[in-house]
Each structure stands twice: as structure tokens, then as C-alpha cells.
Amino acid sequence: MKKYLLLPMFFCYLLNVFAQQDAWVYLKDKQNVTSSIANPISILTQKAIDRKNAHNVLIDARDVPVNESYISQLKGAIGISVMAKSKWLNAVHVRGSETDINNLSTTYSFIDSIDFADKSLNTLKFTKQKSKSKLENVFTVFEYGDAANQIEMIHGDELHLADYTGTGITVAVIDAGFPNVNTMSSFQRLRDAGNILDDYDFVNRDDDVYTNATSSHGTWVLSTMAGYIEGDYVGTAPDASYYLFVTEDALSENPVEESYWVEAAERADSLGVDVINTSLGYTTYDNANYSYTTADMDGDTAFITRGANIAFEKGMLLVNSAGNSGNKSWGIVGAPADAAGVFSIGAVQANGTYAAFSSKGNSTQPTQKPDVVAQGQASYVIGTNDVIGTVNGTSFSSPIMAGGMVCLWQALPNKTNAEIMQLVRESASQYSSPDYFLGYGIPNLQTALNTALSLGNNADISQDLKLFPNPTKDIVYFSFPLDQSELSVVIFNALGKQILESTIANTSNQIDLSSFSKGVYVVRIQSENVSKKIKLIIY
């Protein structure tokens, strides 16, 4: 008898839930825009300002916060709950009955438009707001253990050998929760270095992302980038700095999670974050009226996609899982990975062949999707109990790739986010013939670095001493500071014995090492004013 009583009660619950609607309320203006832009430190951190200046990113009205007076008034409206806000889109995510939400536009003159998540409720056609674009080295030789294949596939280990391990790059990981990251031994190295900068849970509106989490997903994702178990596991960017943000409510699927994500991206931008990894995607919702169609995955429709495109314009590098719908009826890349400004990552097996679950691109999307692929089938992660295991999903190919791109950007700090993305695309295995399964293919990050260095137009080259490629089979090239005509080069073997000394000119900046045995060497490069040691691998 009980099961018959429970069924109508369940339907009553659904009716009550779906009577509450979600909507984005777009506002007409902001407060103190001119003065805020003139004094950017009032709205951004110095690190954020420095990053924008370094990459010629305009500080504009989108960086100015939403008018708090407007938010306060909306919070006081009858039947309205304010769930999230976006300064980039000058919008507030609200929840309430259809009637109460519609009443807002007649009550408050500062409202520009209202866009219901259930599009059938929009009585007026919503016009999307278009975005307007305007020393000495200390080396660590890692033993990757179980994680070896997934980093070697993209040649991220070669960047590590050149001491590009993410140092100086700030990453925001936006996910569903990070249980035990604050206590696990696998993240002890990260914590000891002070590289967990901060955290915030946008769902529960608190700073506990460790114990209240309803999912271990974020812990697994973070481990592929920052996890470290000596001799057994190393993430792809172990020395980067991280912000941990929760925007995904694992207990339900609702478009408010898109708004949480945009809020998190805005906070990341204001904190000076360089790279965002998001192993989340949005297509359909518990309330079918809120769901997108595949035609909506056009790089400009979903709220989160539009926010992601602005994040890209703000100079951040956004790396996102393509999705796990390749063998399902949905099939294609979801939001925000559909955005042109998002670097979307599909999945391959350990042998480099397509993983059947990986979401595919299609002609609806404005750019090639996925962009590239990395190992996402049987990816090795570290669980919340410090035990290494395997999981499947583009959720893990994305951070594996993101960590590698973090190291590449460390090596090429004067490149823009778009330039880093393009270098990685061009290095990939099928760049000349991309498809909807693997995109441009599997990248070679060492090739990407060598390409950038060989062009000779990266500002870092004029400020530092470098050699490439590294590792090498034979020829090694040297970059020169602009004001230097020659360099002194001394090579030592692993025992510290000097085995070569040479002076090279900028007109012939190479040495043939084909007679050297395979192994690890230390190269000391000295210009008139600077001396530097670099570990060199000959294979």
C-alpha cells in the first residue's frame, strides 16, 4: 500500500519544485564605472591588473561589480531568492514563481530584461548581450609511476625535465568538491609549498570545500595536476598554485550551477588566475523545460558559455572537458566547452585511440571541437584515501592537458592565452586533418615549446638564456639575449666532470652533441652578465 501513497507524494514534490522557476535578471547599468576603471585596484587585485597589462587585456565596465543596491532590492522582493550574480554579464540569477519573477520588471526600473531558464516562459524575445573584444635552477627528476603514460603521451614530462613544472602560474580548479585535500598525504607537497592559495564553495556560500563535499570528483581532478606520491605518482603541474572552487551541486542538475561557475570565473579573474580547469559540462537538467538542445551548443547561447567567452577575453586560459556523451543520444560537446574561447579536451585510451564515451564536435560549433585529446580512459587519479586508481572520463583528460599547458605557459610567459592554445593545436598529431572525434589530435608540448623558441619572437628569449630542444638526440640550439653576440657554454656529465667547453656566436647558435652518450648532463650557459645551469637530456 505504501508504494501507491509514495508515488503521488513524489509527483506533488516535483510539482512544487518545478513551480519554482530559475531566471537571469539582466540589469541596465552599474555604479561608479568610470572611477572604478580609472582606479582598477579598487575592483581587482594587483596580480590581476599585472596579468591583464602583460597581455594587453582591457580593463572595462565588465570588471566593475554588480550594483549591490540592486541586489539588495531583489533580495527583498516578494517570493524571490537571489542565487548568484555575474559582473561580466551584469546579471543576477533568481529563483521564484513565474509570476513573482515577471513582477520584478514592473517593480524595478533598473532591470533591463529577464531570461527564464525555461525558454517557453519568455514572453519577449531575449537579445543576447554580445561580448566586445577589444639564477640557478633547482631540478627535480620525477618518477611518475602509474601516471607516466598520461603525461608522456603529451610530452609534459619533457617540460618538467627543463624545470617547467608550473611554478609562478596560478590555476583555478572549478569542480564539485575536494574532500580530504586538506589532509591527504598526496597533497602534502602542495600544502607545504603554500600552493593552495584559497578555496570557496559557491553552492553553500562558505569556505569549506573539504568536508561538506557531496562528491570526490574535484579531488580526483586536482590529483592529475597537483598530486604527488614519491616514486608512484606526479601530476602534470605539481608546482603551480591553486584556487579550489566548488560550483557544482552533485545532488541535482539546475542552471543555477552555470551562474555559480560564472561567479567563480569572475573571482578567478579578479585574483589574477592564469588558467581555469573545468571538468564539468551542462546540457540537460532535472526540469526538462530548462534543458538545452544540441542546436544550442553553438558557442554563444548557454549562459555559462557566454561567461566563458568573456573569461577568455579577460586573458585567462580556459581548459574544459569535452563531455562523456559520445556513445549516448546527446553525442556532442556540451557547454561551456562549445565556446570558441574554451580549449576543449576529448579523451583517448592509453594507446592513443579514441575513447568511445568522449563527446564529439559538430558543425553547429563555431570552432573545431574538441580542440585536442589526452588520456581519459583508465586515467590514473588519487582517491580521497591516498590510494591510486583508474577512472574514465574527459573530466580527467582535461586537467591532465591543463597541467601540461600550465607548464608550457611558464616556459613562454609572454605568450597570450590564444597563442598558447594555437601552439598546442599546431603541435598535435592530426593538426592538418582534424576530425570531430580527436579534434587536432594528441599534442606534443615539447614540440610546441620548440616551435615558439625557434621563431625567436618570444620576449622571454631576450631576457633569459635557454637551450632547445630538450631532450635532444644530437643538435642543441641556444637563445641569446638581444644585446649579446656570444655565449660561453660548459657541459658536465652526471658525475660533475667537465666534458665540453665552447664559445658560440649568435650567428651560429648550435652545438652538435651526437657523439655524446645517452644520459643526463648539466649545461652552464654564461653571457656577459648572467650565468645559468640547465639540465639536458640526451636520448
CA-derived radius of gyration, the chain: 25
Q: Are strands 111-116 and 196-201 parallel, antiparallel or unpaired?
A: unpaired
For 46, 276, 447, 456, the CA distances from 452, given in Å and listed in that order, are 28, 23, 9, 7
Mark whether 163 is an active-site residue: no
Backbone angles phi, psi at 200, to 5 degrees: -160, 140
Residues in the chain: 539
Q: Are 361 and 337 in contact (CB under 8 A)?
A: no
Query: Residues of 87-105 as b/e, b for ≥16 C-beta within 10 angstroms?
Result: bbbbbbbbbbeeebbbbbe
C-alpha to C-alpha distance for 150 and 154, rounded to whole angstroms: 7
Backbone angles phi, psi at 171, to 5 degrees: -120, 135
Cα within 13 Å of Cα(151), Cβ side: 32
353 sits in which H/E element: none
Which one of the listed residues 395, 397, 398, 479 is annotated catalytic? Answer: 395
- A 10 A CB-CB count for 411 gives 22
Name the β-bridge partners of 535: 522
Q: Are 376 and 391 in contact (CB under 8 A)?
A: no
Q: Are 468 and 487 in contact (CB under 8 A)?
A: no
Which one of the listed residues 115, 118, 163, 175 is annotated catalytic? Answer: 175
- Across the beta sheet with 510-512, what order do the strands follow? 466-468, 475-479, 510-512
Burial class (CB in 10 A: 0-12, 13-18, 19+), 202: buried
Mark whether 395 is an active-site residue: yes
Q: Are 417 and 368 in contact (CB under 8 A)?
A: no
Name the β-bridge partners of 523: 491, 534
DSSP letter at 290 equals: G
DSSP letter at 145 equals: B
DSSP letter at 5 equals: H
Which one of the listed residues 216, 217, 239, 371 is annotated catalytic? Answer: 217
C-alpha to C-alpha distance for 424 and 536, rounded to whole angstroms: 23
Mark whether 155 is an active-site residue: no
Q: Are strands 170-175 and 275-278 parallel, antiparallel or unpaired?
A: parallel
Cell numbers placing 416: 597570450
Q: Are strands 486-492 and 519-526 parallel, antiparallel or unpaired?
A: antiparallel
Catalytic (active-site) positions: 175, 217, 395
